Chain A
Amino acid sequence: MTIKLLWIDDNLFHDLTEKRMALYMQDDIEPHFALDATEAFYRLRNEPFDVVIVDLRLPPGPDDMWNTYRENNFQKFGYALLNAIMGPQKDQFEHLRETRFGVFTIEAQEENPELFDDPILLAEDNFKVKTHAYHENAFIEFIRHVYKSLH
């Protein structure tokens, strides 16, 4: 059984390189990556994934669909992405019905109460805070946990 993973984070090629490499070494994980909300939106619209891990402070990417957020100096395009695919545009994402979502971010859970409300309804255990000491094995276990989590 392989977990098809999409990890969305703009730092994947900087301080997350080693965690990303650790994923390649796992036999049960097939990792895919996206660097901004636009890239992620179209990847998610075009193919199913078992697990999606999102960073909240994402850049929007080039698409104009984020303009309203952009004009208001919004920073959390990870939240905007989740809100779009589970809220107003959910009809385009029917194929993600079985997908489990997780959030891996530098912010605290208390700063993002909207993640746990409709339409995102994120499970509290699927939220993990990035810290400099967060080891790659713990991160891989987090992905496996998200995969096993209930909707």
Chain B
Amino acid sequence: MEPTLSPALRQEIETAYSRIQDLPFPIYASDKSGNFLFANEQAVDFFILDRTRDLSSYNITNYYEDAKERDYILRQLQNASLGTWHNNLTVRLKIHDEYRKIRFVSQPFRDESGTLCGLLCIALSMSDIEWFAEFEEMVHTGFFEVDHNLVIVDCNHTFADVLKYGSPAEIKGKPLEDLFWETDKIAALAKEIRKNPHLTDRQLKLRRKDGAMVVVKMSCIGIAGETEGIARVKGSIHDVTFEIIQNDLPVGLFLVNTNRQGEEIISSANLTFAHIHGYESPNEILSKPISQFHPNRAAYEAFKTELNKAAANQQSLLDYYMEIQDKQGRRRNVVANVRYVAEENQHLRVGAVYDVTDHVRGHTRTLEADFSSILHTYIATINGLRDTLSMLMKAHGEDLLKDETHIDRMKAAADAVRCKKRLEEALKELNAIAEERNEGVEHLARLSKLTQKLPLGETGSEREKDNAALSRRILLEIRKHLDGLRRLNLPREMLRNLRTEVDEMLRLTSMVSLSISLDELNERIPDFYYFRDYLRRGEIVQQELKPHNLIPIVMDAVRFLDEFAAINRVSMVLQFSQRDHIPVSCHKNSLNRAFHNLLHNAIKYSWTKGQDRQPWVNLRIEQKGDTVEITIENWGVPIRREELESGSVFQFGRRGRESEDRGRSGTGIGLYDAQDIISKHGGTLRITSEPTFGNLPDMYSNPFITRVHITLPIAK
């Protein structure tokens, strides 16, 4: 027995027990720890107690299905008022393997300090109906009953709550007309119930007490009367107003939770969220790590940084614009509003995302159209500049011309070296005179120094352009000093000859620079053209594809790139008959752009180590059954194995690791665009890049054979 249970308190409990022990229910008293103090006959039978044993050897806690439940009851009674009975305590007991549902009617007893020391209890068995009826008030479902006059005769608290009434009593007696938003639908509903008494999840609009509308899902059953078809209707409702908002709002809603492994996973999402991310239903996206929908780790980290920054200031992250990657790997543009759920230590966040892809694409289209116009003008200007440079080269370098577009740089270099020698000799001679006359000695010393600095004579090296530019600067400086000497007492004729040599060297170095600049322009102009055409591209619409002969489309690209190939000293080997007719259903301009780009790449990235043969590009076209196979093959800059395996070479804006070799320019759009075009024509595009004979697979400094394999269906 509890030592705290004083004799006086025990006496008090016993007195209370003796007053009710004859009632026809199991009645017992226990101390705080649950040891039985007293028990009537019914209690002994109910708990199946051994009459020969000391009653205090039994403990009520051992009969609880869950022992913790008794602690809960004690806590409830600790705060209950003294001298009153409490009947709201229902528990499930386990008595000799049999579960019994019990409602305890209990009276607490406390010591002088107010601590609970004992209980007097009546244990009432509950039927299943009574047991479950309790839940009516506990679950968040509204229960109601309507009589044959369509008047509410009964309901629970939740029903009253949904309709914003203070209590069930306030709503009882109200006709359905007062509760329906669309009263004209009551008659039809009643008729339907008469016809089919079981209705499930019927969506209804109800009117709240404050006049606002609430949307509910109602299930009900019509109960037949003795004289009439349906005497009353019982049913349940639950508020789905927010479910409707959640499911029908054209905004993606989500909940992200951090699991035990620290991974952030999608725990809840609506249909729009699933669709934005490429899934058919919300269930498919649940449990997926949210980070997989960010295009890369850095983008995800950037988003988290901004979210945490906002959270540190007790704010939500609002209107955060970002790119996501859906299930199929397609990029979409979204705006997100996100915040951490309070008291979850940043382990739970809730948010909404708007898909603004079409909006962004619209803007991008406008930008592309504007930019393509500017680029078009720019290309025209560059072409004009190229022609002017070409004419200047012809006008001032006629003696140096090797062909229509190139000068003989070897000859130019040799001529410049001869000029320099003559200049040095003339300066030596002039210096002797200057020293004799003590005139302009400093100028001449500077001139000699500058002349020595002249980097002439190197051709074919990467420094050729630099040397020409530096020589020009030095020669301009020399010319300035020569002009300074004209005021002094030095032989005019010698000065004129010196000036002539300098002017000639300036002409020669300028011709070299012009020629190099022309080569550079010619190399880049196809890039500009391609990029302009990409910006001006139209959408490929499947229905608008028309049959065209593939050969002229390919040949257009070949001819356009003839000059580029010649400048790069790459030969194009065509392994097909130009008289063939291979019809393909296509968008002609797009297909032309794809071939233009793939051939341009093949030429641009070609080189060989052998001196005996210039680099070449093989272009093969073969009909195989109902498809045509086009292969573009070149030797030169490799594409790394991992870039091919991961498909990164086909990603928008991504250039291969080796593609910048020797300053080769590019946009990183070409392969993405070509693959997109070919796939929209129902074809395939595959690339291989393998080491040339005997070379190791990862030695990317050696030339590789790169092959682009394209298949297209032949039009019937």
A72 x B298 contact (CB < 8 A) = yes
Binds A, one of B142-150, B410-418, B462-470: B462-470
* A17, B466: Cβ atoms closer than 8 Å: yes
Bound-state CA distance A72–B295 (Å) is 9
Q: How far is the CA of A72 from the CA of B651 in the complex (A)?
A: 13
Contact A71 B473 (CB under 8 A): no
Chain B residues with Cβ under 8 A from A72's Cβ?
A: 296-299
**Separation of A151 and B282 alpha carbons in the complex (Å):** 56
Within 8 A of B (CB), among A104-148: none
Q: Which residues of B contact A17 (CB under 8 A)?
A: 465-466, 469
Q: Which B residues between 274 and 298 are near A, CB-CB below 8 angstroms?
A: 295-298
Which one of A14, A21, A22, A73 contacts B296 once the chains associate, using CB atoms below 8 Å? Answer: A73
Min CB gap A60→B, angstroms: 8
Q: Chain B residues with Cβ under 8 A from A14's Cβ?
A: 520, 663
**Contact status A25-B477, CB under 8 Å:** yes
Contact yes or no, A21 B473, CB < 8 A: yes
A70's closest neighbor in chain B, by CB?
B657
Given A13-B663, A72-B296, A72-B297, answer yes or no on A62-B469 (Cβ-Cβ < 8 Å): no
Q: Which residues of B contact A62 (CB under 8 A)?
A: 657
With contacts A13-B663, A17-B465 taken as known, whether A24 is within 8 angstroms of B470 at the C-beta atoms is yes
Q: Is A13's CB under 8 angstroms from B465's CB?
A: yes
Shortest C-beta distance, B643 to chain A (Å), equals 11
**Contact indicator B466/A21 (Cβ below 8 Å):** yes
With an 8 A cutoff between CB atoms, is B660 at the interface?
Answer: yes
Range of interface residues on B (Cβ < 8 Å)? 10 to 19
Q: Roughly how many angstroms separate A71 CA and B648 CA in the complex, as a whole number?
A: 10
Interchain CB contact under 8 A, B654 and A73? yes
A18 CB-CB contact with B under 8 Å: yes
Are A74 and B477 interface neighbours, CB within 8 A?
no
The residue among B295, B465, B469, B520 with the most chain A CB atoms within 10 A of its own CB is B469
A79 to B473, CA, bound (A): 33
Please, how many angstroms separate the alpha-carbon atoms of A24 and B463 in the complex?
14
Query: Quick one: closest A residue to B701, CB to CB?
Result: A62
- Which of B295, B469, B657, B660 contacts A21 (CB under 8 A)? B469
Say how far B385's CB is from chain A's closest CB, in angstroms.
14
Report the separation of the CA atoms of residues A59 and B444 in the bound assembly, to the nearest whole angstrom.
45
Query: In the assembled complex, which residues on chain A have CB atoms less than 8 Å from the CB atom of B298?
Result: 72-74
Distance from A59 Cβ to chain B, minimum over Cβ atoms (Å):
6
Q: Looking at the assembled complex, report how far the CB atom of B527 sits from the nearest CB atom of chain A, in whole angstroms.
A: 13
Residues of B within 8 A of A24 (CB): 470, 473
How far is A24 from B474 in the complex, measured between Cα atoms in Å? 10
- Render A72-108 as a binary contact track against B, CB cut-off 8 A, 1 for contact: 1110000000000000000000000000000000000
CA distance A13 to B297 in the complex (A): 34
CB under 8 Å from chain B, chain A span 1-17? 13-14, 17
Q: Which residues of A lie under 8 Å from residue B663 when comparing CB positions?
A: 13-14
The reply to whether B654 and A21 form a contact with Cβ atoms under 8 Å apart is no
CA distance A21 to B509 in the complex (A): 14
Cross-chain contact of A71 among B296, B477, B653 (Cβ < 8 A): B296
- Give the docked Cα–Cα distance between A13 and B298 (Å): 32
B494-525 interface (Cβ within 8 A of A): 520
A22, B297: Cβ atoms under 8 Å?
no
Contacts of A22 in B (CB 8 A): 473
CB proximity of A96 to chain B, nearest CB, Å: 27
Digitize B452-474: 1 where CB-to-A-CB distance is under 8 Å, 0 elsewhere: 00000000000001100110011
Contact present for B469 and A18 (CB under 8 Å): yes
B28 to chain A minimum Cβ distance, whole angstroms, is: 72
Chain B stretch 290-333: residues in CB contact (< 8 A) with chain A: 295-299
Chain A residue nearest to B657 in the complex (CB): A62
In the complex, the chain A residue whose C-beta lies closest to that of B295 is: A73
Task: Kindly state the separation between the CA atoms of A73 and B646 in the bound complex, as whole angstroms.
Answer: 14
User: Would you give the shortest CB distance from B446 to chain A, in whole angstroms?
Assistant: 11
Query: What distance in Å separates the Cβ of B468 from its nearest Cβ neighbour in chain A?
Result: 10
Chain B contacts of A73 at CB under 8 A?
295-296, 298, 653-654
**CA A70 to CA B466, docked complex, whole Å:** 31
Distance of A70 Cα from B646 Cα, bound (Å): 14
CB A7 to nearest CB in B, in angstroms, measures: 14
Please, which residues of chain B bring their CB within 8 A of the CB of A70?
657
Q: Which residues of A contact B466 (CB under 8 A)?
A: 13, 17, 20-21
Which residues from chain A contact B299 at a C-beta distance below 8 Å? 72
What are the residues of chain A within 8 A of B296 when measuring CB–CB? Answer: 71-73
**Closest B residue by C-beta to A25:** B473
Q: Which chain B residues border A20 with CB–CB below 8 Å?
A: 466
Contact pattern, A 13-44, Cβ under 8 Å of B = 1, otherwise 0: 11001101110110000000000000000000
A19 to B479, CA, bound (A): 20
Residues of A within 8 A of B473 (CB): 21-22, 24-25
Residue in chain A with minimal CB distance to B477? A25
Whether A21 touches B465, Cβ cut-off 8 Å, given contacts A13-B663, A73-B296, is no
Contacts of B660 in A (CB 8 A): 59
Complex Cα distance A13/B465, Å? 9
Measured between C-beta atoms, what is the minimum distance from B609 to chain A in Å? 19
B439-493 contacts to A, CB under 8 A, are 465-466, 469-470, 473-474, 477
CA gap between A22 and B299 in the complex, in Å: 41
A59 to chain B: which residues have CB within 8 Å? 660
A25–B663 alpha-carbon span in the complex (Å): 25
Which A residues are in CB contact (< 8 Å) with B657?
62, 70
Q: In B13-61, which residues have CB < 8 Å from any A CB? A: none
A73 to B297, CA, bound (A): 10
Report how far A78 CA is from B450 CA in the complex, Å: 35
Residues from chain B with a CB closer than 8 A to the CB of A71 are 296-297
Chain A residue at smallest Cβ distance from B659: A59
How far does the Cβ of B140 sit from chain A's closest Cβ, in whole Å?
46
Chain A residues proximal to chain B, CB less than 8 Å:
13-14, 17-18, 20-22, 24-25, 59, 62, 70-74
A-B contact pairs, 19 of them (CB 8 A): A13-B465, A14-B520, A17-B465, A17-B466, A17-B469, A18-B469, A20-B466, A21-B466, A21-B473, A22-B473, A24-B470, A25-B474, A59-B660, A62-B657, A71-B296, A71-B297, A73-B295, A73-B296, A74-B298
Extra contacts, 4 of them, besides A24-B470, A72-B296 (Cβ < 8 A), are A14-B663, A20-B466, A21-B473, A22-B473
6 shortest A-B CB distances, which residue pairs? A72-B298, A21-B469, A72-B296, A21-B470, A21-B473, A59-B660
